[in-house]
Each structure stands twice: as C-alpha cells, then as structure tokens.
C-alpha cells in the first residue's frame, strides 16, 4: 500500500491547536520530506465559539467544521491530533478516533494520566499508534527517551520539576523574599498562573505528569490517585530564609523511585541542596532528572509549556505517526504496564525532614522536643533556634532530621502537637538529597 | 516472516564491548520482552590477545571467535554491534557487515564523523539500519532527539560540552587555581585522560562529536575537517582569574549555529557567563544545549562517556534495530544530508573576544592599543589593567570586546603584535554569551 498523502484532523482550536495548525501549514515541505509524502491538514473540529476567534480567522474556512460526525467519518483523515485539553469531551473523542482506525497524537496530560492504560489497549486492538510526547515537559523529549532511548535501563528514580507555574512562584519567593500570595498574584498577572490556580499550586498538574512518566519508567499503571500530593501554598518566606541558611533551595518536586520491586510516587515541596542541578532550575523552566542502572543520571531541561514548545512535540509525533502509516505499521514500542510493581504507601517511605515549630520561650523546651524525636527513633541532624518574640514569649525552632520513616515522623508530629510548650507546628517539609 | 529470535554479533571485546556483552547476557529477559522474541548474543569477534583478558574469561568460550570470515558469514547474526573504536579496521568491518545485510549498531564516533554519509548511503542501499546513539554523549539521548523528537524544528544552534576529559581539566583549573600541566597530570592519574591526551585536549574528539550532531541538525554532511578547532592547552590560571573577575567560566565548547542558510561549526575554549547552565557543568559530565525555532532551548545533561553509560545507548540501539527486523523494516527516519547549507569560513564568524596582553608599563599604552581596535571597527566592552611586574616594567592588560568579526579580530591581533609597547599577546579566547 503506497500512500499518496497523509491527512491530519485537528480537534480544537485553542492556543496549542492554533500553533499546531500554523506549523502544519507553514512547514508542509519539511513534513513531506521527513515522511516521504505530503502531510495535509484536512479538517479542524471547532466549537461554534471558536469561529469568531483570531486563529479561525487566519485559516482557510473550508478547513473548519463544527460537525463532529463529519470530522470522525472523514476518510481523508489518517491521524487525529487532539488539542482540546481536559478530560471531557477529549476522552470520548480519543476513543472514537481510535475505534475509527485513526492514529492519535495528543498533548492532553489529564486524559493520558487517567485513561492512558485503557487508551493504549484500545489503540493496540485497533492497530493504531497513540502518541503523547507533548503531554509532559512541552517540547522536551521525555516520553520517547523512556520508550526508546533509556529502555535498556532499570530506572532507579525520577526527580522532576514539571510545573512551571509553581517553579516560577517558588523562584520569586526564594530570590526576593516575598510571600506566597504576592508571588502567586505576580504569576497570575504575567499569565503564568491561571485565575483559578488550584491545578498548578496544589500539585495536580504535576501529579498527572508524574503518573505518565512513572507508568512508562516502571511499566506499571500509575494513576494520579496513587500519587501522594501536597501543594506549595503553605510555604512561607520564613521557610525560604531557614532553607537558605541551611544551604537548601525549595522546589515542588515530582518524585518516583524504585525500591526493590516496589515504587514510591509523590509530589510535594522539598528542600534540595542548593548546589544540586535541580536547585538551579529557575522560573518557568522544567527539568527532569532520571537515574538508570546503566546510564547513571541524565537530565532533561527546557521550557515545560507554551504553545510553541508543545507544538515541537506534537509535530514530531505527527511525523512519527505518519512514518508508521507509510510503512504500514503502528507504534513500534509496545508499552507494557504489567510489571506488577506495588506502590509503596506514603507511611512507609523514608526521607529527611525539615520542621519549623513555634515554642514557648522557656528552659527545657528543646530537651522535651528532642525526646519526642528520640522516642520515635528519629535522629536530628541540625537545630536552629531563634526569633524570640518578646510579646508572646515564643521562639522559633527549626529541626532537620536524618532519614526517617514517614510514619514515625507523622507520629512525632502528632506528639509534638500535644506538648504544652509547642504553640504551633508552623511547617513541615521533606528534604531530598539524592 | 516471523523471526524466532534475533542474533547479535559483537565486534571487539574492550571495555565497552565487554559491558555490552554483559548486558546482553544479563538482561536477556528485558530485551526479549521489548523486542517480542529472544535477542541472543551469537558471536564475539576478538583478537587473539583478547582471549587472555578478563572479559573473555568470564564469557562462554563458544561465543568467542578470532576468525572474521566465520563471523561475517554467520547467518545467525542479524545485528552487528561494532565496539572496536578507531577508524581501522572498524570502517572495513562496518562496510562488510552492511554489505552482508546485517543491521549495524556502533558507538564509534571517529568512523561516523568521517564516513557517516557514505555508510548511511550504503546502509540504505542494503535496506539495513545504521545506529550510533552511543557515539556522542555516552547514554544521553542525542542522536534520537535530532532524528525524531526535535525534527519539527529548524535548529538554530548547538552549544555543547561534549568532552569529559577537557571539562574535568578546566573544572580543576577553575576551582583550584592550578595550571594546565598539573590538571592534565591529575586527570591522567585518575584515568580521565589518556597517556597521549592529544585527541581530547586538542579538541579532536569534540570535533568528531560535533560533526555527527551538526550533520543531523542541519541535514548537511559536516566533516571533522570542516570544523574550526582549538584545544585547551594554552589556557592558563591567569585566564581563569580574569574570567572569574569578569563573571565568566572557561569551557571547551562545541558550537554549531545556523545563520541564514549557512552554518558555522567550531570547537574552541570559550568564556561563558558564570550563571549560564553550561558554566555549571563540572567535571567529566557532558551537556548539550540545543536551540530550535519551536522548542526554544533544551538541554541534555549526563555522563558523557564510560562503558556503563555507553552500553545504555548501544543496547537501546540494539532493541530498536531488533524491533525493525521483527517488523520487517529498516530504520524509519531517513537522514538526509542534502540541505546544501554552506559552512561559513572561520574568518566570517562573529563573536566576542577576550585578550590578555603583556605590555610595557609606560604612559599612552592603552591609547595606542585601543586605537588598533578602533581602526578595525572593534568596540571594547571592558578593560582590566594590572599586575605590573617591577622587574620587567611590564603590565598585563585584559580586554573584552563587543561582537566583532573574526577576520577583523585577527587583523587586530596582528597589528597589536607589531606595536613596540606590546611584549606578548598572552592569550586570546572567544566569548560566547548565547
């Protein structure tokens, strides 16, 4: 079967879809050369409201349709590019496209994180490819490295800054000593954070991306709800001051680790040594550190979002899908999710901890606090006591621990809260030194 | 055609080949799962001298052969993995394997840099794959990103630290204020530099790697001899002192840039801003910054050499080749080298410059020096004058320029050398701020 051309159908006409359409039209020669035949944008399925917007006006009107039945029935479409975002109706569209024998390209992290395993099975049944490089890290190659380039490795761990919004906020807080609400407001004004910032600042977006990466890395169906998750809103500038004093930066990390035959997956703020590579990743950039048994540590860094960067990944996926169609094959690498690796409950993980506690300024307090740690076999690595508030007669104590089990730490926190000398456990942040 | 198994023939049994053999044997299950059928190491072609060495003794004797005719005629071998290194006899072996219809995997940067274009043509004629991910950057994915992941981009530039030995030496010099001979000696003692270090310290190794990457990035047959090349042996600790004072690090950079429809390719030491990502890449690590029109700047970082890291890339290539054989196809992405992009002569490039000059300590010297720059329309951005040597009545002047054309700079250097007040042009290093 020799294809004369490859037809593309685009779902959506938001910022990313608009950019994808632009590249498909403007770089038609490059695509044809890479694929070996013309790659032609056949149809764009839009909402009636999209027709009034700027991207639609720049495009030939015959490309646009609001009729989804017509779109999915179009025999000239070989590859469906989904760029709507969100779970619905994207999921139903993806299922419909696959069932219709179309190859699929998407940058939809939510759908892939929640329904990736089912969609992969469906795609395999229908002999079509399902590609989603743009779903994590914008244009930074991440899906392909796990599927192809690092496939000889047993992956030991992933340590990633994969949400630009929170990294921007934390960078501003760390550099300028401003508090969280001001940094968030500034991020919103600059368009880095949305009006409703929950998805970013609560780590939901990062957990989708970690679910996608860790599923690939550990051949396990890791779902967003499997991932322990904490956001950044309770980080204060005081935490930054102490962290800097102790030689640490604070980042929202997405962590996946293999321990024996099980894995831990978590998204939370963490203190990391200020001379580590991830500590130097500032602003809206993303960086993903992967450790494999053969390759050692490799780091991927770049713009983690944005229409232009994401279109780099989407178009690469379109080219790969088109090459497959020309060769008469579907995606070559079959992703298996049957490794049977268990997910370690959060209570069982082991890491180090930073605590900031507000205590009564009286003799013997530190001894009583230290005793609680000792009772739970947690060993303290450093203590800072300062900032006596004359008015309330309280002091602030900052404690860093050696590695300890989360369960013991949670019990310690509970007991500390019951001490009459402890006024408040102001914050509690994990410390990652890997 | 359903393959029952894929057979591997390994050329060589040095450190990398020994590691590749080890992974092929120890990770046989992983390979079989990835490929869909067993991947079996059939034969290792060794030299008689190899038989006495450690790797050979750990392997089943029936795997080893010193008979190359037998090796190349073996019908059970589907993929030949070349891990001899060097130009000869590797080139002849690769040609023989391709002509015999074997798919090829190599980590040989010299052969690919010098003969890549011809080998690719030969491989296409015989319908076999030619993969060489391990030839640049150890296990860091670099070849695949250019062939697949970044293929939608017009590549604007590559800025890379791709020689671990020189980066180790420069890191030691920068940190400890030691001079080049001491740092080299230390690198040799630690096994990071060879007894004859020329290949590394003169930038030859880096130029091979840049030839490979820039050929892919710009679809042009860039050969090592096309690349302007300077080594690091003339960098002194004085240069590091001044660079640090001015806010710069010194690195051996491999640079490829697209300017309009032409490219510049060069390997030389460079001052780079100390807060740039590449400035923070220390020791034997490699980092490759790629800039594309869509993706923006992406950075790949990791161990750039070593048997373990390189085996990660070689085994990934073996798996990709084996998948192709199972599917009955050869490498999907055809690398074209016919873009017709011209290579810009070194005299025509534009960059900034750092000069360290030894001058007579007398009035009017700076005016006379500055005039020479002005005569060649080169504008000076900063000047440091210090270190008067009482005995010789000389002073040291350090000059940084704004962007200027190399040709004008070379003429300036020549004229400066003719001034009676200039005792010596002690050093001249390019400054890269991109």
User: A91, A306 in Cβ contact below 8 A?
Assistant: no
Structure tokens at B12: 């060589």
Binary contact (A139, B30; C-beta < 8 A): no
Give yes or no for a contact between B91 and B115, defined as CB atoms under 8 angstroms apart. yes
Instruction: Give the CA angle between residues A297, A303, A304 to the nearest 5°.
Output: 80
Distance from CA of A297 to the nearest CA of B (A): 6
Mean per-residue pLDDT of chain A: 95
Catalytic annotation present for A102: no
> Looking at this predicted complex, what is its ipTM?
0.95
Chain A positions touching B138 (Cβ under 8 A) are: 295
Q: What local confidence, expressed as pLDDT, does residue B204 receive?
A: 98
Cα-flanking dihedrals φ and ψ of residue B81, to 5°? -105, 115
pLDDT of residue A331: 65
Closest of B22, B135, B147, B26 to residue B82, by C-alpha: B135
* CA-based torsion, B211, B213, B217, B219: positive or negative: positive
- pLDDT at A332 > cutoff 70: no
Q: How far is B424 from chain A (nearest CA, A)?
A: 39
Counting one residue from A and one from B, how many pairs have CB atoms under 8 Å apart?
166
For chain A, give the percent of residues with pLDDT over 90: 89
Question: ∠ at Cα B220 (B219, B223), nearest 5°?
Answer: 135
Report the alpha-carbon distance of residue B19 to residue B306 in Å, rounded: 10
Instruction: Please list every residue in chain B whose beta carbon sits closer than 8 Å to the beta carbon of residue A277.
Output: 280, 301
Among A159, A282, A298, A300, the strongest candidate for a mutation testing the B interface, having the largest count of B CBs within 10 A, is A298
Q: Which of B149, B280, B294 sits opposite A311 (nearest CB)?
A: B294
How far separated are the first and last CA of chain A, in Å rounded?
52
- CA A256 to CA A258: how far, in whole Å? 7
pLDDT (0 to 100) of residue B386: 80
Q: Considering only CB atoms, which chain B residues are within 8 Å of A324?
A: 332
* pLDDT score of A2: 65
Residue A271 phi, psi dihedral angles, 5° rounding: -80, 130
Q: How many CB atoms lie within 10 A of CB A214?
A: 30
- Return the structure tokens found at A80: 């469906």
Helix (H, G, I), strand (E, B) or coil at B125: helix
Task: List the Cα angle B383/B389/B394 in 5-degree steps.
Answer: 60
pLDDT digits (tens, 9 = 90+) for B45-67: 999 988 888 888 889 999 999 99
Question: E strand or H helix at A240, and its extent?
Answer: helix A237-246
Distance CA A127, CA A91 (A): 18
Q: What is the pLDDT of residues A273-303, one digit of tens each?
A: 999 999 999 999 999 999 999 999 999 999 9
Query: Sign of the CA dihedral A117, A122, A126, A129?
Result: negative
- The CATH classification number of A6-139+307-327 equals 3.40.50.720
At residue A311 the predicted structure's pLDDT band, cuts being 50, 70 and 90, is very high
Are the Cβ atoms of A308 and B294 closer than 8 angstroms?
yes
What span, in angstroms and rounded, lies between the C-alpha atoms of A334 and A130? 10
**Cα–Cα distance measured from residue B282 to residue B167, given in angstroms and rounded to the nearest whole number:** 7
Whether the Cβ atoms of residue B61 and residue B13 lie closer than 8 Å to each other: no
Minimal C-alpha gap between A204 and chain B (Å): 24
Mean pLDDT, rounded, for A107-122: 96
Residue in A with minimal Cα distance to B145: A141
pLDDT at A52: 86
B368-396, pLDDT tens digit by residue? 999 999 999 999 999 998 877 888 889 99
Position of tokens 């894929």?
B6
pLDDT at residue A338 is higher than 90: no
Q: Residue A312 is nearest to which of B139, B294, B311, comparing CB atoms?
A: B294
Select from 3.40.50.11740, 3.40.50.300, 3.40.50.1000, 3.30.70.260 the CATH code of A348-431: 3.30.70.260
pLDDT for the residue numbered A333 = 63
- Give the residue on A whose Cα is nearest the Cα of B278: A277
- Category of B16 on φ-ψ map: left (φ > 0), alpha (ψ -120 to 50) or beta: alpha
Which of A34, A149, A280, A314 to mutate against chain B (most B CBs within 10 Å)? A149
Contact B139 A292 (CB under 8 A): yes
CATH 3.30.360.10 for the B145-303 domain, yes or no: yes
Q: What CATH number labels B347-431?
A: 3.30.70.260
Contact B199/B95 with Cβ under 8 angstroms? Answer: no
Fold entry, domain A143-301: Dihydrodipicolinate Reductase; domain 2 (3.30.360)
Whether A267 contacts A230, CB under 8 Å? yes
- Please report where in the chains the tokens 């891990």 appear, as a residue: B83
Contacting residues of A for B315, CB less than 8 Å apart: 151-152, 294
Q: Which of A374-383, B305-314, B331-340, B406-415 has the lowest mean pLDDT?
A: B331-340
How far is A388 from A384, CA to CA, in rounded Å?
A: 12
Q: How far apart are CA B358 and CA B421, in angstroms?
A: 9
Contacts of B292 in chain A (CB under 8 A): 139, 312
Please give the residue of chain B at the shortest CA–CA distance from A310.
Answer: B295
Q: Rounded to an integer, what is the distance from CA B180 to the centroid of its chain?
A: 21
Alpha carbon distance A330, B153 (integer Å): 24
Catalytic residue among B209, B251, B341, B423: B209
User: Where are the domains positioned within chain B?
Assistant: 6-139+307-327, 145-303, 347-431
User: Which one is catalytic: A114, A209, A251, A341?
Assistant: A209
| A329:B327 CB<8 A | yes
Q: What distance in Å separates the CA atoms of residue B227 and residue B240, rounded to the nearest whole number?
A: 25
> What is the spatial distance between Cα A261 and Cα A144, in angstroms, rounded to a whole number?
24
Residue A193: both structure tokens together: 């954070």
Name the token pair of B88.
Answer: 């000869």
Chain B residue numbers with beta carbons less than 8 Å from the beta carbon of A300 are 298-301
Q: Do B309 and A316 touch (CB under 8 A)?
A: no
* Residue B419: count of CB within 10 angstroms of its CB: 16
The DSSP code sequence of B340-399 is -PEEPPGGG-EEEEEEEEEEE-STTHHHHHHHHHHHTTPPEEEEEEEEEETTTTEEEEEE
Q: In terms of Cα–Cα distance, which of B237, B244, B242, B301 is closest to B275?
A: B244
Contact B329 A324 (CB under 8 A): no
Question: In 3D, which of B361, B357, B386 has the Cα closest to residue B370?
Answer: B357
Read off the pTM: 0.96
Sort B170 into a burial class: Cβ within 10 Å, 0-12 / 13-18 / 19+.
Answer: buried
């Amino acid at each position: 079967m020799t294809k004369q051309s490859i037809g593309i159908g685009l779902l959506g006409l938001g910022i990313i879809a608009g950019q994808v359409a632009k590249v498909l039209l403007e770089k038609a020669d490059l695509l044809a050369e890479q694929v070996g035949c013309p790659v032609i944008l056949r149809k764009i399925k839009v909402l009636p409201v999209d027709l009034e917007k700027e991207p639609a006006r720049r495009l030939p009107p015959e490309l646009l349709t609001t009729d989804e039945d017509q779109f999915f029935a179009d025999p000239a479409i070989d590859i469906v590019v989904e760029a709507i975002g969100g779970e619905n109706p994207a999921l139903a569209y993806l299922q419909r496209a696959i069932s219709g024998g179309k190859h699929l390209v998407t940058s939809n992290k939510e759908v892939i994180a929640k329904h990736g395993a089912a969609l992969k099975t469906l795609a395999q049944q229908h002999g079509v490819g399902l590609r989603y490089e743009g779903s994590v890290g914008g244009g930074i190659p991440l899906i392909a490295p796990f599927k192809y380039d690092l496939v000889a490795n047993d992956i030991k761990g992933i340590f990633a800054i994969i949400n630009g919004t929170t990294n921007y906020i934390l960078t501003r807080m760390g550099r300028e000593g401003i508090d969280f609400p001001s940094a968030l407001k500034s991020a919103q004004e600059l368009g880095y954070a949305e009006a409703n910032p929950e998805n970013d600042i609560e780590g939901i977006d990062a957990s989708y991306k970690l679910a996608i990466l860790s599923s690939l890395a550990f051949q396990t169906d890791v779902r967003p709800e499997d991932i322990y998750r904490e956001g950044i809103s309770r980080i204060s500038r005081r935490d930054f001051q102490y962290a800097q004093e102790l030689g640490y930066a604070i980042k929202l990390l997405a962590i996946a680790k293999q321990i024996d035959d099980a894995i831990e997956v978590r998204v939370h703020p963490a203190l990391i040594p200020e001379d580590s590579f991830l500590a130097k990743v500032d602003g809206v950039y993303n960086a993903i550190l992967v450790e494999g048994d053969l390759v050692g540590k490799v780091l991927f860094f770049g713009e983690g979002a944005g229409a232009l960067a994401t279109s780099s990944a989407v178009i690469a996926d379109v080219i790969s899908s088109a090459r497959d169609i020309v060769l008469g094959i579907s995606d070559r690498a079959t992703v298996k999710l049957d490794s049977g690796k268990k997910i370690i409950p959060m209570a069982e993980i082991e890491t180090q901890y930073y605590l900031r506690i507000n205590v009564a300024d009286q003799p013997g307090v530190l001894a009583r606090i230290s005793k609680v740690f000792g009772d739970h076999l947690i060993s303290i690595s450093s203590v800072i006591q300062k900032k006596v508030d004359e008015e309330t007669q309280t002091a602030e104590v900052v404690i860093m621990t050696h590695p300890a089990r989360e369960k013991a730490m949670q019990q310690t926190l509970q007991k500390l809260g019951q001490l009459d000398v402890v006024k408040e456990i102001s914050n509690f942040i994990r410390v990652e030194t890997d």
